[in-house]
């Protein structure tokens, strides 16, 4: 009995991994998807900005994509976390080049795709975490419109929050809550004023209700929604285990890839939030489409 060798193991079966899987399934390749089911947007009940799916439940988008992918006979799926991955010496183009450990079982493949996403590191403000994706957000395009031009609070995390501060007035009257995160210089103050942004210097004590911000000086400001800056970290340590080259995105590290999404380790590809600085469902799907084609091309080239 020979062990089963998949053409590609995809770790991460959300938008990016599903999209890559679809390309590979349609090339009649054998694919195993390993997915823990912790999508980055699982805190939100509506997803916006993805053609034909605007306003739909993000879980429903992923579930429909999964059902369509699983209709292909060459695709297998395991619902669990991949613990570790390693590179093997590939003797010939048909041999396994990678081994992935899952709950005491080892799966082998010729190529590997990391579509593992990132984790948001939320600001440590009382009451913020339970409201993430509900009334506290990071993406104006995803959630700004639904606030119906009501009052918006931007919680500064660093000077990078200037970006939020200057954008959000397009979605509603904006208050920039400095929260001692940085001290805007004259040029920044002028830019905020030109956009009609109100500045609030009293530090934040807690968030309660829908989006009520209690300030250190005793006042409470109520908003239709809040925007906060979250740093990110790779959701899986597998990139580090494999020694992949990372690069610094504006909010955290991402896996470095070439234009066809191959990483610094030949045969290992990465796509979606884990491997690009700008994040959205549409971009993850596009990135996965590219990675699927890149993986297929790599398989055709034989041993790595």
Positions touching ligand FAD (CB under 6 A) are 11-17, 34-41, 43-44, 47-50, 81-82, 115-117, 120, 132-133, 139, 142, 235-236, 238, 272-273, 279-282, 284
Tell me: does residue 136 bind Mg ion (CB under 5 A).
no
Q: Smallest distance, Å, CB 223 to ligand FAD?
A: 17
Report the residue from 23, 47, 135, 232 that binds Mg ion according to the rule CB under 5 A.
47
Choices 141-149, 167-175, 230-238, 289-297 (CB under 5 A): range interacting with Mg ion: 141-149
Q: String of b and e for 241-250 (b: at least 16 CB within 10 Å)?
A: ebebebeebe
Cα separation, 282 vs 286, in Å, equals 6
State the alpha helices, DSSP H only, in the chain. 15-26, 58-70, 140-143, 162-167, 186-194, 238-241, 281-300
- Which residue minimizes CB distance to ligand FAD? 272
Radius of gyration of the chain (CA): 22
Nearer to Mg ion, 47 or 135 (CB): 47
Q: Which stretch binds Mg ion (CB under 5 A): 11-19, 38-46, 197-205, 237-245?
A: 38-46
The sign of the dihedral angle between the CA atoms of 277, 282, 285, 286 is negative
- State the nearest-atom distance from the C-beta of 56 to Mg ion, in Å: 10
- Helices and strands, counts by H and E, the chain: 7, 19
3-class state of residue 26 by DSSP: helix
Cβ–Cβ < 8 Å for 115, 69: no
Residue 246 forms beta bridges with which residues?
A: 255
Which position among 25, 44, 181, 224 is part of the footprint of Mg ion (CB under 5 A)? 44
151 binding partner (options ligand FAD, Mg ion, none; Cβ < 5 to 8 Å by kind): none
Which of the 8 DSSP states describes residue 273? G
The one of ligand FAD, Mg ion, none whose footprint includes residue 116, by CB under 5 to 8 A per kind, is ligand FAD
Q: Which is nearer to ligand FAD, 146 or 199 (CB)?
A: 146
Residue 200 binding target from ligand FAD, Mg ion, none, CB below 5 to 8 Å by type:
none
Given the complex with ligand FAD, which of 156 and 271 has the nearer CB atom?
271
Least distance from C-beta 250 to Mg ion, angstroms? 20
Q: Which residues pair with 5 in a beta bridge?
A: 108
């Amino acid at each position: 009995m020979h062990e089963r060798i998949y053409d590609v193991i995809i770790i991460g079966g959300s938008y990016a991994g599903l999209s890559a899987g679809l390309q590979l399934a349609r090339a009649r390749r054998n694919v195993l998807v390993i997915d823990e089911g912790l999508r980055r947007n699982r805190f939100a009940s509506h997803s916006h900005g993805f053609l034909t799916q605007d306003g739909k439940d993000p879980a429903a988008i992923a579930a429909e994509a999964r059902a369509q992918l699983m209709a292909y006979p060459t695709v297998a799926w395991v619902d669990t976390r991949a613990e570790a991955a390693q590179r093997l010496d590939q003797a010939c183009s048909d041999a396994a080049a990678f081994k992935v450990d899952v709950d005491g079982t080892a799966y082998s493949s010729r190529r590997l795709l990391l579509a593992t996403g990132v984790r948001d590191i939320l600001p440590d403000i009382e009451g913020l975490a339970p409201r993430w994706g509900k009334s506290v957000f990071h993406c104006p395009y995803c959630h700004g419109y639904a606030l119906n031009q009501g009052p918006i609070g931007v919680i500064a995390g660093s000077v990078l929050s200037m970006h939020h501060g200057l954008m959000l007035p397009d979605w509603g009257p904006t208050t920039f809550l400095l929260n001692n995160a940085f001290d805007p210089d004259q040029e920044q103050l002028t830019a905020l004023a030109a956009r009609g942004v109100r500045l609030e210097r009293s530090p934040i004590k807690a968030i309660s209700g829908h989006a009520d911000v209690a300030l250190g000086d005793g006042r409470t400001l109520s908003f239709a929604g809040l925007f906060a800056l979250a740093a990110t970290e790779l959701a899986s340590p597998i990139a580090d285990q494999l020694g992949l080259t990372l690069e610094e995105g504006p909010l955290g590290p991402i896996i470095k890839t070439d234009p066809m999404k191959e990483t610094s380790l030949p045969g290992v590809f990465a796509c979606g939030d884990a491997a690009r600085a700008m994040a959205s469902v549409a971009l993850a799907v596009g990135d996965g489409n590219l990675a699927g084609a890149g993986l297929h091309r790599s398989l055709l080239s034989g041993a790595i």
